[in-house]
Structure 1
Amino acid sequence: MGIRRPSRFRALATVPQTYPANVAMASMIEMKSSSGQDKLQEVTEMLNMLRADLTEMNLLPQQRNEALEKLKVHGRSVENADPIFTKEGIDTLCRHGFHSPSTTTSREALRCLANALLLQTETRQIFVDLGFSEKVCELLKSDNRDDEFLASRILFLTTYGTNLDFEKLMRDSQLAETINQNIARHSKRYPKSGRRASSIASPMEDMALSETLKLMFNITNFYPDLAEMFSKSIAHIFKILFRTRIPTPPLHPPVCYLVNALMNLDLEGKKGSQPLAVNPVFPKFDQKLNAEHLIKILDMAITQYPEKELDTVAAPVLVLIRRVYEFAPDTVKRYMQCLLLPTDEERNMPLGQSDTLSSRLLRLSTCPSTPNLRESISAMFFEISGKDASTFVKNVGYGFASGFLMSHNIAVPENASDAFSSQTEGTPINPITGQRLDAEAIETGPEMTEEEKEREAEKLFVLFERLKKTGVMNVRNPVEQAVQEGRFEELD
C-alpha cells in the first residue's frame, strides 16, 4: 500500500490545548521565582537532575515526580524554558515516560512531553528521530484512559510536520487495530436505554475519546489509503454519536470529533476485502436512524450558532449528510428528502421565508458570510434532486437554483417555467419564488402607464446586454429577438 506524504499539511483537526494542571503539591524541591533567569535556571537544574537520575537513580520516587510536576508547570510557556525543547530535553522526558516502572512518573513525564510537542513544532521531528514512536503505540494498547489520552495526543501531534511512517506503525505496531479497540471500549459506556450526556463523573474518558477520534481523522485525512483499516469503528462511532445527548451548542466535543472521524472513512464498504452484510450506517432495526440524527444535529447547529461560526463548525455535518445520501437505500433517500426539501405548506409564501430547516438552509445558500456552507448547501439540494436541473429548480425555485447551476456550467432550463411543465396536478407554482400562484398577493395598485412600461423595458434591455457581455451564460435579448423576427413596427 503506497503512502504519499502530503506536501503541505492542513490543520483540519483542532490542535489541542495543553494538558490541565494537577493540584499544586507540597514540594520537596522548593519553588523559586518563575520569571526570567530564575525560571531558566530552575528548568536547567530540573532537567540535569532528571537526566542524571536515568543512570544513577539518586532521586526518591516522590522527588522524581515533584521535579516532573514542576517542569510541567514551567513548560506551559516557551519563554525561558528552552532546555525542555532541546534534543536532550525531549530524550530525558521520553526515557522517563516510556521506561519508568512507575505509572505516576511515566504520565507526568508524558504530560511534559505532550506540552512540548504542542508548543514547539520542531520538537515533533526530534521525538520521531529519537525512535520512540513504537513505544507510544505500545502505550496506546493499555486499557487505561490516561494512557490513551496521552498516547493519542502525542501521535496526533506527530501527524503535523514530521516524516513519521504511519504505514509502518499500522503494520508493525498494529496502530489501527489498537485505535479500533479503544473506540469499541468507549462505545460500551453508552447504554442502550436513553441518551448519555457528556460525562461529568469521568471527564478523562471523554477527553481520551476526543483525542483518539482526532488522531483517526488526521491519519485518514493525510493518508487516505489507510482509511479502510478503520472500518470496524464505523458502527461504534455511529452508536456513540446517536446515544450521546446532543449538547448545547450541538457541535461541542465529542460530537464534532465523532462527525469529523466519520468523514474520511469507507462508509459505503467498497474498499473492504469482504462486502458488509449490513451496512452500519443503515442499521437493520431502523435504516433511517443515523441519517435522521445527523439532520437533527444540522438543524440545531443552524439555529444555535451565529453565521460567522457556521461556515466552519457546520460544514462537516453537511458533508457527512451528503455522503450518506449518496449511497443510501431508496427508502432512506425519500425520508431525507422529506426532512430537507420544502413542504407544500411552505409554498404558501416564497421559499426561504418560513422558519423550517429547508428555509434556513435556502437562506444560508445565498449568505455572503458563509462561502463554504453556501456552496455545500446548494450542492446538497442539487444532489437530493437527482442531479437534475429541472427537478432542482422545481424543488427550490429558480431564484435559489440559478446561481449554482450557472457557476457549475450546468444547463439551465431556458424558461424557468419549463421545470414545472411535468406537473399535471395540484396548484401551479411560481417558478421563480417557488410559491403557489394562488397564495401570491393580488396586486391592487394602478396599472403602469405606457411611459413606465417603456422605462422598465429599457432597463431590462440594458441588463440583458450587460449579462451577455459577461460571458457567464449565453442569453439573447428579447428586444433584439423581436426585431429580428419582424415583431417590431416602425412608427412615424
Structure 2
Amino acid sequence: MLAHTRSHSGSSKGSYTTSLAPSLTGEAKLNEVTTLLIKLRHDLRTQLLEPQQRVAILDRLKVYSRDATNADPMFEQEGINTLSEHAFSGKDQTSSREALRCLANAFLLQPKSRQIFVNKGYGPKAAERYKGRRFIPINLDNRDDEFLLGRILFLMTYDTTLNFEDLIKNIHLDESINEAMARHAKAYSKSRKSLPAQADEMALTETCKLIFNILYYYPDLAENFSASIPHIFKILTRIGVLKPPLQAPVNTLINALIPLDLENKKSKHLGINPVFPKFDQNHNIELLIDILHQAITSYKEDDLDHIAAPVLNLIRKIYGFAPDGVRRYMQWLMLPTDADRKKPLGQLDTLSARLLRLSTSPMLPTMRESISALMFELSDNDANKFVHNVGYGFASGFLLSHNIAVPQTASDAFSSPGDTGAPAINPITGQRLDMEEPHDTGPEMTQEEKEREAEKLFVLFERLKKTGVVNVKNPVEHAVEEGRFEELD
C-alpha cells in the first residue's frame, strides 16, 4: 500500500475531517464510501465543493482504500472514473494528488480496477501528467507526482492492455523517466551534505520499478532508457554499501540495470560505455562485487535466492562483454587465490570461498546455479581451467549437468607444462598438497593381515560372480591365468 500518509493542514468547511483512521467498518463503511463518491461525482458537474472540502473527502476515501473490505464502490467503474476525473481534470493540485493516492491504493488491492482505468482512456493521461511535472527545483510536489504516477504506471504494466510502446512513441514517456533519473543523480551529488529525503528515495524506487517492468514486457525498448545508465551508476556510487546492502533503493537500482542495453550495442551516441567509466574502468564492477560480498555475509542463506541473485546475475552479464582488463580484475576478485589454497577450497571466509559453499547449498536452487555458471565463465568457459580454479569437487556437478566434457582425470586440469615451479594441488579439494595435514594411516599391515584381507576379497568376488548380475572375474583367478600367481609353502 502507499506509504504516504501526509495530513493536510487548514480547517475544512465541510463535515468531513482529514482523520487518518476512520472508525467505521462493515456496512457503515460501505455506506459512507458510497456517499463520499456520490458527493465527488456531483462535484464534477457542479464544482460546488470548496477545495478544503474536496480534499477532506478524498483524504477519507484514501484511508478507506487501504482495505478493500466494504469499499467495493471505489473499485468499480463509476468509482474509478470519478477518482480519475478528479486526479487528471481537476484544477486543484492538492485534490488531484489525493485522488491519485486513492487510485494507487485501488490498483494495488483490486487488479480489475486497472483495466477499468485503461478502458476509460486514462493511461495516456497518467503518462502526460508524469511528463508534465518539473524536476527542478526539488520540492514536495515533484516527489509526490513522481511517486504516485510512477506507482500507477508501474501497476498498469500488470493485467492491462495499456500499450507502453504508444506511450513512448506519442508521449515520450522514456524521456520523462530519463529526466527523472537525471534529477535523482543530481540530488546525490558530492556537494550535498546528506542523502536525499525518504520521499525522494520512494520516488526513485518507483521509477526504477517502472523501468524494469517496461523493459521486461518490451525488451526492444531498452535503447530508449540508455541515458539513465550513467545516472543509476552515479547514484549507486554515492549511496555506497548500505547495511544491509540490498535495501531500497539499491535493490531497485540494480534491478533496473539488468534489462538495459549495458553492452551499448545500439546506443552508440553515449560514447564511452558508462559501465566502464574513463576515470576507472573497474569502478562500477568493483562496487557491485562489494555489494554481493556484503550481501552473502549479511543475509540468511535461505533468503539469498531472491535477495542477492539479481546482483549476481548483473555481474555475470557485465563480465560477458567487459574488456580484457576488467575481466582479469574480476577473475582476481572472485576466483580462489593461492592464499585460499592453504585450506581445501570453500573453507575460508573470502568471497570465493563463500561463493563456492553457496554453490552446493540445497536451499538456493537459483543462486547455486548462477554461482557455478559465473565461476565457469570466469574460467573462460574451459572445463580444465574450471576444475583447476575451483577443484574437481565443486566443478564436477556443474559440468556433468550441462553435458560438458569433464577432464579424463582430475589431475589433467592441474597439469601446466613449463610451470614446474608451481606447487602441487590436490585436484579434488583444490588445496596445495604441501598444506595438507598428514594423515595417520596407522601401523603397516603384517603379512598375515594382508593374507586375511586377500582371502576376504576372494570370497566376495566369488559370491558376486555366482549372483549372475554382473560378469566379473576374480583377480586371483585372473592372476593365475597370466602366470602371476606364486604358491607359497
Q: TM-score, normalising length from structure 2?
A: 0.87
Q: 1:47-446 maps to which residues of 2 (within 5 A)?
A: 47-141=37-131, 142-143=133-134, 144-192=142-190, 198-199=195-196, 202-272=197-267, 274=268, 276-422=270-416, 424=419, 425-446=421-442
Whether the 8 Å contact between 1:402 and 1:412 is mirrored in structure 2 is yes
1: distance between equivalents of 2:190 and 2:441? 62
Distance change in 2, residues 1:234/1:491 (3 Å): farther
CA gap of 1:303–1:44, structure 2 versus 1, over 3 A, is same
Partner AA of 1:348 in structure 2 = K
- Percent identity of the aligned residues? 55
In the alignment, the residues of structure 2 paired with residue 236 and residue 394 of structure 1 have an alpha-carbon distance, to the nearest angstrom, of: 39
- Count how many residue pairs are aligned between Structure 1 and Structure 2: 454
Amino acid at match of 1:22: R
Partner residue in 2 for 1:463: none
Q: What SS does structure 2 have at the residue aligned with 1:426?
A: coil
What amino acid is aligned across from residue 155 of structure 2 in structure 1? L
Mapped to 2, the partners of 1:478 and 1:391 lie a distance apart of: 39
Contact 1:342 1:395 in 2 (8 A): yes
Per-residue CA deviation, residues 221-249 of structure 1 (Å, 9 max, x unaligned), is 11111111111111111111111132211
Instruction: Say which SS state the counterpart of residue 239 (structure 1) adopts.
Output: helix
Structure 1 407/490 Cα, relative in aligned 2: closer, same or farther at 3 Å? farther
Q: What CA distance in whole angstroms lies between the structure 1 residues aligned with 2:191 and 2:175?
A: 28
Which residues of structure 1 form unaligned runs of 5+?
Answer: 1-16, 460-468, 470-476
- Matches of 1:457 and 1:180 in 2, distance apart? 78
Cα distance, 1:267–1:483 mapped onto 2, change above 3 Å: farther
Q: Partners in 2 of 1:487 and 1:63 — Cα distance?
A: 107
**Superposed CA offset, 1:1-41 (max 9, x none):** xxxxxxxxxxxxxxxx3243233876642477411111011
Structure-1 separation of matches of 2:63 and 2:265: 48
Report deviation, 1:48: 0.1
Looking at structure 1, the residues matched to 400 and 79 of structure 2 have their Cα atoms a distance apart, in angstroms, of: 58
Q: Which has the higher contact order (CA 8 A, sep 6+)?
A: 1
In 2 relative to 1, CA 101–491 (structure 1 residues): closer, same or farther, beyond 3 Å? farther
Q: Which runs of 5+ in 2 are unaligned?
A: 135-141, 461-469
Distance 1:190 1:436 in 2: 47
Is the 2:342–2:435 contact (alpha carbons within 8 Å) kept by the matching residues of 1?
A: yes
User: Aligned-residue CA RMSD in angstroms?
Assistant: 2.7
Partner of 1:20: 4
Letter matched to residue 21 of structure 1: T
Q: Which amino acid aligns with 2:79?
A: G
- Mapped partners of 1:353, 1:456: distance in 2: 37
Contact preservation (8 Å) 2:227, 2:270: no
TM-score relative to the length of structure 1: 0.87
Distance 1:422 1:478 in 2: 38
Letter in 2 for 1:192: K
Contact 1:269 1:275 (C-alpha < 8 Å) held by counterparts = no
Indicate the residue corresponding to 2:139 in structure 1.
Answer: none
